[in-house]
Amino acid sequence: MNENHFFALFGLPISFRIDADQLKARLLDLQKTHHPDRQDGDSIAITQNASLINHAYDTLKRDDSRAAYLLSLNGEDIDLDKSISDWDFLGEMMEIRITLDDTDDKASLNQMADEITQTSQALADGFDHAYQAQDWISARDLAQKLQFVGKLHDDIIAKISEILQHHTDDDDLYV
């Protein structure tokens, strides 16, 4: 396996389960060390290093992108053009998507976000098990589902943010 990988950059073992606090602390250390204002030399290379650090952090901090990255390190890339074949999973996710599109109720959206977080955690646990067992078929399937659920979670959070920005409750103005 290539030693020039994101885990090595952050001083982490190659594993699906990572210490998020350690990842964040290492990011801050790397950003201080490699900040363009603190570097002399080739400005393009310095900017590329800073960009690489940020990209590596973004990849490792999320379960969905970390799973896909781990698979790629093992030569097991996810085929994003391939459809998810688990019809029960797709049906459940489509119901949530329809509800998301049809609701502007913050409480309902928060409940959906909680449900999706639980689903994501179950998928992450399954991926971790499949990855450790080198069950690449299951790991690819679960990584693809993690990406689907991650996007849905992002959309739910975006809608909640949109509602909070556009709808202020007058009762909150008076204390």
pLDDT tens, position by position, 100-123 = 999 999 999 999 999 999 999 999
Q: Residue 155: count other Cβ atoms within 10 Å of its Cβ.
A: 16
Q: Measuring CA to CA, which residue among 80, 90, 83 is closest to residue 152?
A: 90
Domains of the chain: 6-61 (1.10.287.110), 87-172 (1.20.1280.20)
For the chain, what percent of residues have pLDDT higher than 70? 87
Angle at 75 between CA 71 and CA 81, to 5 degrees: 70
Question: Within a 13 Å sphere around the CA of 99, how many CA atoms are in the beta-carbon half?
Answer: 20
- Mean pLDDT of all residues in 71-93: 89
Record the pTM: 0.85
Task: Determine the pLDDT at residue 1.
Answer: 37
pLDDT tens, position by position, 12-39 = 999 999 999 999 999 999 988 876 666 6
